[in-house]
Amino acid sequence: MDVDKQIAALQADLNAAHHITYLTGAGVSTPSHIPDYRSKNGIYNGISESPEQILSEETLFHQPAKFHHFVMENMYFPDAKPNIIHQKIATSCNKNGTLITQNVDGLDKKAGNKHVIEFHGDLYNIYCTKCHEKISYDSYKKSYLHEKDQGIIRPGIVLYGEPINEKVLTKSVEKIHDSDLVIIAGTSFVVYPFAQLLAYRQANAKIWVVNNTPVPAPKEVSTIIENAEKVFDKLYI
Ligand SMILES: [Zn+2]
């Protein structure tokens, strides 16, 4: 089937769906100029340490300057704007859907999406690890130490080795289970436990993948191998 026919088939499923769950990853934010850190040309290139090593509690607490420098240089893009994918998913979710995203950039909320589950947290939910006070991005940008108590400041994202918040996990499973349509976009879908969410789908739910490279998925999944931005641009939501 050519891509236009596939998009038409996805459109028909969208029109018929009662509750939709979207699962998204870095590929949804690359059109907003946020680099995909897991891709070959991602932000970790040229850095001798792996992302697993740097984005860990170990580095956060024992080499806080390195951690801070890394996230400021490579992860924060406060001027980034939502693109057509964020916007259309927001419109769809505000009607009858939920988004579960791996992205920590906050662009879905910026797009006005009121039903977002941030599976790996939010870069802008910044707090002091000593007193748990909320810290503004502007303060965190200046220093990783809380002036008041010298506590180390961190972003509320799930670091490598940390578990997914239990409430987030439970809510995600519920939403997948309640959906008759699941659309996976802009993710290679290999990050555990995010990739396992699909196991909780209804037996008769329609599943679509929109990604520029093939994704490991069960055979009943319909796949559109195309740039997610091009596909969402053509969808009527
Ligand atoms: Zn503090």
CATH of the domain at 26: 3.40.50.1220
Number of domains comprising the chain: 2
What average pLDDT does range 47-52 have in this prediction? 71
Q: Name the domain boundary from 136, 157, 178.
A: 157
User: What's the order of all strands across the beta sheet hosting 206-211?
Assistant: 116-118, 97-101, 20-24, 181-185, 206-211, 222-225
What pLDDT is attached to residue 39? 47
State the distance from the centre of ligand 1 to the C-alpha of 127, rounded, in angstroms.
8
SS3 per residue for 108-147 = HHHCCCCCEEECCEEEEEEEECCCCCEECHHHHHHCCECC
Answer yes or no: do 102 and 22 share one domain.
yes
Per-residue pLDDT reduced to its tens digit, 165-178: 999 999 999 999 99
How far CA 207 is from CA of 84, 201, 220, in Å, comes to 21, 9, 8
Answer yes or no: do 101 and 138 share one domain.
no
State the distance from the centre of ligand 1 to the C-alpha of 132, rounded, in angstroms.
6
Answer yes or no: do 178 and 197 share one domain.
yes
State the distance from the centre of ligand 1 to the C-alpha of 138, rounded, in angstroms.
16
What pLDDT is attached to residue 41? 38
- The region of weakest confidence among 22-26, 102-106, 159-163, 190-194 is 190-194
Question: In sequence order, what are the beta bridge partners of 153?
Answer: 128
State the distance from the centre of ligand 1 to the C-alpha of 64, rounded, in angstroms.
15
Per-residue pLDDT reduced to its tens digit, 69-114: 889 988 999 999 999 999 999 999 999 999 999 999 999 999 999 9
Name the token pair of 187. 């993710």
Answer yes or no: do 129 and 206 share one domain.
no
User: Does 212 have pLDDT greater than 80?
Assistant: yes
Query: Which distant-in-sequence residues (6+ apart) come within 8 Å of 235 by Cβ?
Result: 7, 10, 11, 14, 88
State the distance from the centre of ligand 1 to the C-alpha of 150, rounded, in angstroms.
6
Answer yes or no: do 129 and 209 share one domain.
no
Answer yes or no: do 29 and 144 share one domain.
no
What pLDDT is attached to residue 44? 45
What pLDDT is attached to residue 120? 94
The answer to whether 35 touches 42, Cβ cutoff 8 Å, is yes
User: Does 40 have pLDDT greater than 80?
Assistant: no
State the distance from the centre of ligand 1 to the C-alpha of 28, rounded, in angstroms.
34
Burial group, residue 28, by CB count within 10 angstroms (0-12, 13-18, 19+): buried
Structural domain of residue 231, as residue ranges? 1-34+84-120+164-237
What pLDDT is attached to residue 46? 60
What pLDDT is attached to residue 217? 73
Answer yes or no: do 22 and 107 share one domain.
yes
Task: Say whether 159 sits in a helix, a strand or coil.
Answer: coil
Answer yes or no: do 213 and 224 share one domain.
yes
What average pLDDT does range 113-122 have in this prediction? 97
What pLDDT is attached to residue 219? 76
Cα distance between residue 201 and residue 28, in whole Å: 22
What pLDDT is attached to residue 190? 63
User: Does 63 have pLDDT greater than 50?
Assistant: yes
- Scanning the chain, the segments in alpha helix (DSSP H) are 3-16, 51-54, 57-62, 64-74, 84-96, 107-110, 137-142, 166-177, 228-234
Q: Name the domain boundary from 111, 140, 157.
A: 157
User: Does 45 have pLDDT greater than 60?
Assistant: no
What pLDDT is attached to residue 47? 55
Tell me the pLDDT of the chain averaged across its residues.
90
Residue 55 sits in a domain whose CATH number is: 3.30.1600.10
Which residues are marked as active site? Answer: 120
Answer yes or no: do 184 and 231 share one domain.
yes
Best CA proximity match to 128, nearest among 106, 102, 109, 151? 151
